[in-house]
Amino acid sequence: GAGVSQSPSNKVTEKGKDVELRCDPISGHTALYWYRQRLGQGLEFLIYFQGNSAPDKSGLPSDRFSAERTGESVSTLTIQRTQQEDSAVYLCASSLGAGNNQPQHFGDGTRLSIL
Amino acid sequence: AQSVAQPEDQVNVAEGNPLTVKCTYSVSGNPYLFWYVQYPNRGLQFLLKYITGDNLVKGSYGFEAEFNKSQTSFHLKKPSALVSDSALYFCAVRDTGGYQKVTFGTGTKLQVIP
């Protein structure tokens, strides 16, 4: 079946512009996660959705970052007034439920480069 | 607070030899433990998980991991390494109690030498 799909796969933009990243989770997966992975580093948690609500936003680094999820499906991560330090791969993952024993299924990420 | 440590940034092993990628964890309660693999320019792929029961967990592509509660470790192993196993491996932990975000290790690069 289809996996987690992220778009665009690559995004290059100028400092100060807004960007919107999209994630289509696996159908039926109620839990959705966003992570940031800087070059050569591990995963940095950003936000968790259960259904359309976000019970854990603790990883969003600043108020320039926001995310929403509609219809228990697609999620968008928006970064306003981008800065060079925002350059990274943004990974989305989904899992079947909110249970802590559920593995996460990842998309291939959006590689964001801020000039 | 929960944490994961992967003490080796890189592990080199000859093709055909057994491999081990180390992981230790810390949680306040009982752990759920996971291993993921990441190939270049791809997302993470789930390999295996420990929930409860047998301490030896078998997963995809011939990988297995051994849960050791006394040593708080969950090392990833494979009896015979393939060149195609070369990738970045992440260990992850989640406390079993209530909602807990997943904590990932910093990753270990596995290089299998032909």
pLDDT at B1 over 90: no
In chain B, which residues touch A (CB < 8 A)? 32, 34, 36, 41-46, 49, 51, 90, 94-96, 99-102, 104-107
Calculate mean pLDDT across residues B35-55. Answer: 93
Looking at residue A60, what is its pLDDT? Answer: 95
Calculate mean pLDDT across residues A98-107. Answer: 87
A56 and B99 in contact (C-beta within 8 Å)?
yes
Q: What percent of chain A has pLDDT over 90?
A: 82
- Show the CA angle centred on residue A100, arms to residues A94 and A103, nearest 5°: 45
pLDDT band at B17, cuts 50/70/90? very high
Calculate mean pLDDT across residues B8-21. Answer: 97
pLDDT at A3 over 90: yes
Q: Which chain B residues are closer than 8 Å to A93 by Cβ?
A: 43-44
Calculate mean pLDDT across residues A93-106. Answer: 87
Q: Which chain B residues are closer than 8 Å to A42 by Cβ?
A: 90, 104-107
Looking at residue A32, what is its pLDDT? Answer: 94
Handedness of CA A59, A27, A75, B41 (dihedral sign): positive
Alpha-carbon B55 to chain mean position: 14
Q: Choose, out of A4, A95, A100, A102, the residue to mutate when testing the contact with B (most B CBs < 10 Å).
A: A100
Q: What is the pLDDT of residues A31-60, one digit of tens each?
A: 999 999 998 788 999 999 999 999 889 999
Calculate mean pLDDT across residues B101-107. Answer: 91
With CB atoms and an 8 Å threshold, state whether A100 touches B96. Answer: yes
pLDDT at B50 over 80: yes
Average pLDDT across chain B, whole number:
94
Q: What is the pLDDT of residues B64-73, one digit of tens each?
A: 999 999 999 9
Highest-confidence segment of A103-107, B50-54, B93-97: A103-107
Q: Which chain A residues are closer than 8 Å to B100 by Cβ?
A: 100
pLDDT band at B96, cuts 50/70/90? confident
pLDDT at A1 over 70: no
Average pLDDT across chain A, whole number:
93
Query: Kind and range of the H or E element at A55?
Result: strand A53-56
With CB atoms and an 8 Å threshold, state whether A41 touches B96. Answer: no
Q: What percent of chain B has pLDDT over 90?
A: 82
Of B41, B45, B94, the CB nearest to A100: B94
Q: What is the pLDDT of residues A70-80, one digit of tens each?
A: 877 999 999 99
Q: At which residue do the structure tokens 């260990």 appear?
A: B91
